[in-house]
Amino acid sequence: MANLPETEDFAEGTYQIETSDRVIGGPGGIANKQAEQLGNRTAWLRAAIRKIIDGTTAIGKATQLATARTLRFKGAVNGSGSFDGSADTEITLTLADSGIAPGSYTKITLNAKGLATAGSSPTTLSGLGISDAFTKTETAAAVQQAVANLVASSPAALDTLKELADALGNDPNFAATMTNALAAKASKAELNTAVSTLLPKAGGTVSGSIVLNNGTIDSPEISWQTPGFDIRADAVGKTLRFFSVNNGETTFPLTLDVINKSVQLFGNTAWHSGNFNPVDYVKKGQVLVPGESPKCMSAATGSIGGISGDASALEVRGNANGAALVSFHRPGNFGAHLGIDTDNQLKVGGWSMGPVAHTIWHAGNFYPGGKADKGEVSELANKVSALEGRQVFTKAFTSPEQTIMTNGYLSIPHGLGVPPVLWESYLICKEAEHGYWPGATILVPSAGVDNLYSLGISVVPDGINLNCKFGSQPGVFFVLHWGTGSTGIITPSKWRLVVRAWA
């Protein structure tokens, strides 16, 4: 009996013996077909398993371990992490403590792996393992001996290298510098010969003239000197000058101009009897005391109307296109001009009164008898109003100047006894702004109430107060520039508010 031959083959499916097949035995026979296929498959499986066991065939990769495993590290580092094969595992390693306390050391001990195992901070040479150096005491002694050898018997002002360098001017070529400087000096014999031809060095008498002339308009100088001070004299052109040089600054205390016969003292003209009599003048800015009364005497005779020309009187003269004026000033309070304006009218204005000039009324341009006074006009207006059935005002109120406050309120007692029937608000300029001048007064309605920018004021009166509400926009009011006509918001600190009411 023989065995069926087997080959490593994994056939797909198992052959089915048909009823029509003839039964034939032996290798390849129908009767052995199924057994042959099963044997081949078995041989194929056994060979495949052997290759896996031998490692010649790589098996498929598992996606995850059935039970996760912990990976642990010990030794110089510590750390652990769980791994089941489903994803990478990251493990943080911690360097194991060396047993040394944290800190800074000047000396450490390392093991074979380069890790510190001990540390210390010795304070002595022996502790650091140094055996060929001076100790502190030996070093101090050696330094002191070296300094002593270098200084020897030098004075205290020259016993350091810095002091020696300063004394030599920090000149590394001091010897050559001194040699060259000495070579340029005159010898003792040369000096004696030269000095014998000069003026006496220690005083004495010189007969004859001394002439200083260098051939230019600026003569040589004569100098008088004291420590820190130098005063000199020279001639420039035909002017004799005395000047001083003090701490690098030159001043001219005295100059004499021979041609113009004038003297300057510290740059100011010196007045003398030839060009000035103090009794005849009032000094600029002079404050007069009681009893002083400067006078200017006119040579005119007769009344003003009969005098032609300047009549040798005190004259205030303007230029051809300007006003002739006199200024009056109360410093820190008020100032104004009085004079003949460019239209030849006598006027007062300007300065603290602003860019205005008010005509001064007199008998030549005004007749009081032909005018009604303010009270008469008011009385007439009330009579007309009564005849027309309108309100007749018998009481009036003007408030003190009020501070303007952004988004603020004011309650001003009016004292009228009844609610007023008419009221008005005014802005009064205190400091020049937007072309207006101190004292300029603007009716508030001309400034306007601006709904878009919340500017303006509302006044609601009652029987006791004038109740005021300012706008919330910084500045509160806007005005038209007096010069350009453009709109500008005021600075509240430069203006004040006045409210008037009638009943």
Q: What angle do CA 482, 485, 488 make, to 5 degrees?
A: 85
What pLDDT, on the 0 to 100 scale, is given for residue 195? 60
* CATH number of 461's domain: 2.60.40.10
Residues 330 and 413 in one domain: no
Asked if residue 155 belongs to a domain, the reply is no
Residue 80 and residue 191: Cα distance in Å, rounded?
Answer: 102
| Same-domain pairing of 410 and 481 | yes
When mean pLDDT is compared across 264-268, 297-301, 310-314, 433-437, the lowest value belongs to: 310-314
Evaluate whether residue 249 is within a structural domain: yes
Of 2-6, 432-436, 442-446, the range with the highest mean pLDDT is 432-436
Q: Is the pLDDT of residue 387 over 60?
A: no
**Residue 68 is encoded by which pair of tokens?**
């996760």
Residue 384, pLDDT above cutoff 80: no
> Does residue 269 form part of some domain?
yes
Q: Let me know: does 101 contact 81? Beta carbons within 8 Å.
A: no
Average pLDDT over residues 158-166: 77
What digits encode the pLDDT tens for the residues 67-106? Answer: 888 888 887 788 888 888 788 888 888 887 777 888 888 8
Q: How many domains does the chain have?
A: 4
Q: Are residues 41 and 7 part of one domain?
A: yes
User: Strand ranges (DSSP E) for 332-408?
Assistant: 334-340, 346-349, 357-359, 396-398
Q: Does residue 293 belong to any structural domain of this protein? A: no
Mean per-residue pLDDT for 112-140? 79
The strands making up 69-73's β-sheet, listed across from edge to edge, are 69-73, 77-83, 94-95
Over residues 296-306, the mean pLDDT reads 70
Residue 299 lies in a domain: no
How much is the pLDDT for 414? 92
pLDDT of residue 448: 47
Q: Which domain holds residue 418?
A: 390-502
The answer to whether position 487 is within a domain reads: yes
256 falls within a domain: yes
Q: What would the mean pLDDT of 276-302 be, rounded to a whole number?
A: 67
Q: What is the pLDDT of residue 295?
A: 66
Asked if residue 435 has pLDDT above 90, the reply is: yes
pLDDT in tens, 175-232: 888 888 877 777 777 777 766 666 665 666 777 777 888 888 888 888 888 887 788 8
Same-domain check for residues 341 and 413: no
What is the average pLDDT value for the chain, to the nearest integer?
79
Backbone angles phi, psi at 338, to 5 degrees: -130, 130
Same domain as 485, residue 444? yes
**Residue 62 banded pLDDT, cuts 50, 70, 90:** low
Backbone angles phi, psi at 249, to 5 degrees: -110, 130
What distance lies between CA 454 and its chain's CA centroid?
Answer: 34
Q: Are residues 367 and 396 in the same domain?
A: no
- Asked if residue 190 belongs to a domain, the reply is no
